[in-house]
Every structure is written in structure tokens, then in C-alpha cells.
């Protein structure tokens, strides 16, 4: 298959302005795409880029050129075009199979390509070859589609161009388009800050939900399909390909994962000390500039430093940390041209296959250590702190200008490389709220949506066949604070939490969640109400904040008097409460005070229905 040389590649960048007349335009064969994207005029300047990875490109007229290569390295195919091309490729090789992991809300199949030397077509057959498996997911935000075109090129080269050995000691699962409905809401005006492809998909699903905020709550059909696929196929490494927003800098491929302080420290050590050096070396050798994830503390003042992100389980990398699945978040730089980003992604995916193949024993060991660690305490939330190690940041020069339009100072990037020495790094690495590890949680059978979501995550549960009396810990809420607007389709809530030991009857049908299981840490983070991505804070339990039974004044007045007559201690407590002038002046509050202490009051109100037990 004919590869393109650098001069040939450069010819693909010819612009329509270089043709001197309409006649020349008509006779040019073949017609070439414009050199710039529609938004180039409003984006910061860029330096020309060439790298060794350009040798991966095949000529546009080659039989197995991808649509990306056929169309000047600036476009990405539609859903139908993508799978027409992939179906033809799959038909050429016993190593490739296509399986559906489920349908989108608009009825599109979410396809996954299974690539293995043995030609496995299902999870059981794949597991029998006893090789580590890489799951690559493209298009969770479908405008950020670099991974799709990179993966198509890589599969082509595995089949035709001498790279079948990549599957000698590893398997590949490839989801070309995760958010398939958003992918088809395509336009050249969808992502103003991104250089290509020409038509980009939409950030959210057809239900306007962001899949990379949905890992913990798993509301979307797409995410439920993906989580079930992870449980069925059991990958050893999970790569989620994005394109970043934000500031300008020299790095073209940035990537990150969980931190050492999280729930998977052994996995972190493997990723940081084995995986990252191999992948960064491959990217650098191919002419790319790899780096860690880039999030500035202040986009208008780089000297304030960089943020070290400790992702929560709503995000792919935070979810991977919680379930002990090594997970890489790739953030290609949106201001780099589409060709450069796709080629960088190709190099990273190829290097990832080589990494898990060469280091599978250590990778498997790290996963097992974290799955069965069963830490006695788990941190639920983190505070920011200055890190001991700064960052020599490969940035881009800029100036600040006063804007006559907004009235603010705005950044003007000049495209010139600048090294910012030893920038401060601030990260969420100081433990904030932590809890002890219970032996189990018990969930009443009526909270069916909660039980169903835990099942989607793959968390093991058992159901009590008969009622048992048990001493448990129950949370009581006060001062609930509801979000002022919906977020990702839900009204989030926080509350002050207190706990008490009680003896209660757990009826038959109650669901028990043992925390000594591989997904025990994930269960804790989903069920502890102070965890930021708990099902409680996502609003799954909001009905407990609704009072449904009341008492009329004409009944509570004589009841209150009866209570005072029968309990001198209650009279003393009431007298003490009356010293609060606001309480004393509020007739409703005074009557409610007695109602709350009466046997008629709702014993379930503001109490968390999920209880903790130490056995």
C-alpha cells in the first residue's frame, strides 16, 4: 500500500485561493479541500507541523485509504460512511468481528469492533486466549472524534500493512462512535474552538445529556450499554479519547488517569512508571509533543499554575479509579489541526497495545491488588493543596488586551513557544471527608431504580430470603440544599448528615451489598451520601425530603397538652426551647415541635433508607 511522502502530504494543503481562475478550479484533478477550517480566522495562530507519524498516511486513491485519508485529512465520515468502510474491512479478515453493545435512543446501533489473532467474536472466546485487552472508546463527545479516524487507520494497518503482530499478545476492542446520535447532529459550526474535522458532531446525546458526566448515575441508555460491555468483556485498559478546550500550549496529545491518592494506587504506579514512559517515548519519536492533562488555574494568567485533577466517578478516569479499571483520558489539543491530532492518537493507541502486551503480568498484578485491597477507610471527597513538585510547562506566548466588546482583558496567543519554568501545581490530593468501610449496605426492595443502577455497574448483590433483626447504622439528614437548577437531567442535593445505631427488622426482599468484592469501593462511593457522586447527591432519593402526612392544629393542641402533662422532662425541654425568641414567636414551629415528638410523626422522614452494617 502506497504511503504518502512529506511533499505529497503538503500538496493536500493547497487552497482554493492558489488557483488563478475559475477554469483552473474546474480542471483541477482531484479538487482539494481548503487549507483552513471555517473558524481559523478567529483562532490563535499555529506553527507548521510535520512529524514521522505522517508516514502512517496512505495515498487518497489507495483501495484501503480511510475516508479521512481520501478527503484531504480534514474530514471525518458520517455514521453510515464509517460502518460501510469498516464492514468492508472486516470482511477481509478473520481477525475482526463487529458486535453491537446496544441501541441509542434514536435507534442507532453502538458498534464495537473486536480484533484478536484468534478471531474471537464474543467475550468468552476472547477471554480464552488469555491476553490483555485494550478497550478504545471514541466519540463520547462526538465532536471530539479523533479516535474514530485513528482507530480505523490502525485496524487497516493490522489487516493489510504488517501490524498484525500487535495482536500476538494483546486484544483490541474499538468503539468508533460512542455517542452515535450526537455524532449525526453534525455541522462545521459545532465546536468554535477546534480545528477540524470540517463537520463535527454535537457534544451531548439526543437527550442533551453529557455521557462523560454519566458514569456514576448511568442515566443514559448509551452509558448503561457501555457499562454492561465493560462487565461482559472485562478489558484490562480503557482509553477514552477527547479533544480539550481552554488555553493554547505546545503539547498536542495530553493524557492522564487516577492519582496516587485515589482508590487504585497500584494501577497508578503501573500507569505512571511503566505505561507513561513507553507511550511518551513513542509519541516523541513520531514527532508529537506529549504531556499530562492541562488545566490552568486561570486561563488569563499562566503563572498562577496548573490544576492536578482528581476526577470523581462521574468522569471516565474517575470511574476507572473507583472500579479499579486502568483508564486513560486522552485530551488532544483542540487548536492543533485535525491531521496532527489523528496521527498522535494513532501512535498512542499502537503504543498502548504494545505496552499491555509487554507488561501484562505487572498490569494484571496491579489490577488484582487494587480490586482486593479492601481499605478500611475510603476518602469520599478531596481538598485542593499545593503540590511539592512544580511543572516546567511548554506553553505559548500571549499578551492581554482590553476588549472594547466585553470590557474585560482578553488573551491574545501569538503562536510562539514559551517555556514557563516550575509553575505551581495545585491538586485535589488532601483527604477531606472519609468513612469507615462497612461490611455491607442494606437497601429496601422498594428502591428499585437504585438497585437496578448498582446492577448495571456490575456490583454483586444478594436478596434476603427471610426477615432478620440486625443492629445497623442509619443516616439522618437535616438542612437539605437543593441545586437551583437541574444538572444533567437531575436535581442534585446535599444535606447535613448525622448517624445513629439502631436495631431494626430487615424484611425479606431487602438487598444486601457486600463491600468485600472487586467493586466494593465503587459501591461505597455510590451509596455513601457524602460522596459527591453518590446516588443520593444525584437525586435518586429525593422523595425522602417530601412530607406526606400532617396533623391539624385542632388535634395537635390537645395532644401537646397531653404530652406535657404526662412527661415533666418534656415540659422542661419545651421551656428551654421557648428561650429562643424566634421559636417562641412562631406558632407553627411550636406546634410542629410537639408533632415531631409524637408517635404520629413520620419515622421515615429525612432518614436515609440505605443502612450500613458491620456484619
Query: Is 311 exposed, middle or buried (CB count within 10 Å of its CB: 0-12, 13-18, 19+)?
Result: buried
CA-nearest of 181, 153, 156 to 339 is 153
Q: Give me the torsion for CA of 50, 51, 53, 54, rounded to 10°.
A: 30
Would you call the peptide bond into 131 cis, given omega within 30 degrees of 0 as the criterion? no
User: In angstroms, rounded to a whole number, what is the distance separating the alpha carbons of residues 607 and 585?
Assistant: 28
CA-to-CA separations, 190 to 37, 185, 201, 488, in angstroms, rounded: 12, 9, 7, 20
User: In angstroms, rounded to a whole number, what is the distance separating the alpha carbons of residues 425 and 86?
Assistant: 43
Q: Which residues pair with 112 in a beta bridge?
A: 99
Phi and psi torsions of 202, nearest 5°: -95, 150
CA-nearest of 215, 73, 199, 118 to 522 is 215
CA-to-CA separations, 358 to 96, 148, 330, 361, in angstroms, rounded: 22, 25, 21, 8
Q: What angle do CA 81, 214, 521 make, to 5 degrees?
A: 125
Q: Is residue 385 flagged as an active site residue?
A: yes
Tell me which residue has cell 455510590: 526
SS3 479: strand
Phi and psi torsions of 167, nearest 5°: -95, 5
CA-nearest of 78, 81, 70 to 12 is 70
Q: Which three cell numbers stand for residue 501?
A: 445505631
Angle formed by the axes of helices 338-358 and 146-160, nearest 10°: 60
User: In angstroms, rounded to a whole number, what is the distance separating the alpha carbons of residues 132 and 237?
Assistant: 8
Contact 131, 112 (CB under 8 A): no
- DSSP state, residue 208: S
Tell me which residue has cell 488532601: 430
CA-nearest of 88, 68, 47, 48 to 4 is 68
The catalytically annotated residue of 385, 401, 452, 557 is: 385
Angle formed by the axes of helices 553-566 and 568-577, nearest 10°: 120
SS3 9: helix
CA-to-CA separations, 418 to 390, 479, 512, 554, in angstroms, rounded: 16, 50, 56, 77
What does R_g of the chain's alpha carbons equal in angstroms? 29
User: In angstroms, rounded to a whole number, what is the distance separating the alpha carbons of residues 395 and 13?
Assistant: 26
Residues marked as catalytic: 385
Amino acid at each position: 500500500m502506497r504511503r504518502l511522502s512529506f511533499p505529497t502530504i503538503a500538496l493536500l494543503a493547497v487552497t482554493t485561493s492558489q488557483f488563478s481562475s475559475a477554469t483552473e478550479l474546474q480542471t483541477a484533478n482531484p479538487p482539494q479541500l481548503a487549507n483552513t477550517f471555517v473558524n481559523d480566522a478567529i483562532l490563535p495562530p499555529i506553527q507548521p507541523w510535520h512529524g514521522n507519524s505522517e508516514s502512517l498516511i496512505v495515498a487518497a486513491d489507495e483501495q484501503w485509504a480511510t475516508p479521512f485519508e481520501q478527503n484531504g485529512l480534514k474530514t471525518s465520515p458520517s455514521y453510515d460512511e464509517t460502518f460501510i468502510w469498516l464492514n468492508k474491512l472486516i470482511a477481509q479478515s478473520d481477525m475482526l468481528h463487529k458486535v453491537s453493545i446496544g441501541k441509542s435512543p434514536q435507534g442507532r446501533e453502538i458498534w464495537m469492533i473486536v480484533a484478536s489473532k484468534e478471531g474471537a467474536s464474543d467475550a468468552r472466546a476472547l477471554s480464552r486466549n488469555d491476553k490483555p485487552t485494550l478497550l478504545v472508546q471514541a466519540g463520547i463527545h462526538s465532536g471530539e472524534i479523533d479516535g474514530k479516524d485513528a482507530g480505523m487507520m490502525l485496524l487497516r494497518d493490522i489487516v493489510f500493512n504488517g501490524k498484525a503482530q500487535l495482536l500476538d499478545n494483546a486484544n483490541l476492542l474499538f468503539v468508533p462512535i460512542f455517542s452515535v446520535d450526537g455524532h449525526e447532529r453534525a455541522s462545521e459550526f459545532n465546536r468554535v474552538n477546534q480545528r477540524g474535522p470540517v463537520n463535527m458532531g454535537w457534544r451531548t446525546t439526543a437527550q442533551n445529556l453529557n455521557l462523560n458526566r454519566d458514569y456514576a448515575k448511568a442515566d443514559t441508555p448509551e452509558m448503561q450499554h457501555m457499562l454492561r460491555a465493560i462487565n461482559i468483556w472485562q478489558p484490562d485498559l480503557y482509553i477514552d479519547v477527547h479533544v480539550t478546550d481552554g488555553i493554547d500550549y505546545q503539547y498536542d496529545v495530553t493524557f492522564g488517569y487516577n492519582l496516587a491518592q485515589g482508590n487504585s494506587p497500584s494501577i497508578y504506579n503501573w500507569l505512571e512508571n511503566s505505561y507513561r514512559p513507553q507511550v511518551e517515548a513513542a509519541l516523541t519519536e513520531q514527532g508529537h509533543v506529549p504531556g499530562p492533562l492541562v488545566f490552568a488555574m486561570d486561563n488569563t494568567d499562566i503563572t498562577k499554575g496548573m490544576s492536578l485533577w482528581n476526577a470523581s466517578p462521574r468522569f471516565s478516569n474517575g470511574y476507572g479509579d473507583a472500579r479499579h479499571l486502568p483508564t486513560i483520558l486522552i485530551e488532544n489539543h483542540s487548536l492543533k489541526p485535525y491531521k496532527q491530532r489523528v496521527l498522535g492518537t494513532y501512535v498512542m493507541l499502537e503504543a498502548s497495545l504494545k505496552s499491555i502486551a509487554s507488561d501484562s503480568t505487572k498490569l494484571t498484578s496491579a489490577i488484582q491488588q487494587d480490586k482486593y485491597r479492601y481499605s478500611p477507610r475510603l476518602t469520599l471527597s478531596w481538598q485542593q493543596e499545593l503540590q511539592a513538585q512544580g511543572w516546567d510547562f511548554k506553553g505559548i506566548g500571549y499578551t492581554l488586551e482590553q476588549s472594547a466588546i466585553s470590557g474585560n482583558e482578553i488573551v491574545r496567543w501569538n503562536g510562539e513557544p514559551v517555556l514557563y519554568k516550575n509553575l505551581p501545581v495545585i491538586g485535589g490530593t488532601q483527604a477531606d471527608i472519609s468513612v469507615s468501610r462497612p461490611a455491607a449496605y442494606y437497601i429496601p426492595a422498594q428502591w428499585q431504580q437504585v438497585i437496578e443502577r448498582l446492577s448495571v455497574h456490575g456490583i454483586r448483590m444478594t436478596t434476603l430470603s427471610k426477615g432478620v433483626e440486625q443492629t445497623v447504622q442509619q443516616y439522618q439528614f437535616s438542612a437539605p440544599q437543593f441545586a437551583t437548577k437541574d444538572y444533567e437531567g437531575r436535581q442534585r442535593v446535599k444535606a447535613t448528615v448525622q448517624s445513629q445505631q439502631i436495631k431494626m427488622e430487615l424484611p425479606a426482599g431487602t438487598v444486601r451489598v457486600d463491600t468485600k468484592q472487586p467493586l466494593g469501593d465503587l459501591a461505597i462511593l455510590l451509596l455513601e451520601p457524602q460522596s459527591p457522586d453518590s446516588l443520593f447527591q444525584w437525586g435518586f432519593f429525593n422523595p425522602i425530603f417530601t412530607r406526606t402526612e400532617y396533623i391539624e392544629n385542632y388535634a395537635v393542641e390537645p395532644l401537646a397538652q397531653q404530652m406535657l402533662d404526662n412527661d415533666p422532662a418534656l415540659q422542661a425541654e419545651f421551656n428551654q426551647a421557648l428561650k429562643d425568641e424566634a421559636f417562641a414567636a412562631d406558632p407553627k414551629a411550636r406546634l410542629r415541635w410537639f408533632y415531631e415528638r409524637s408517635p404520629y410523626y413520620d419515622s421515615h422522614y429525612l432518614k436515609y433508607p440505605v443502612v450500613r452494617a458491620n456484619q
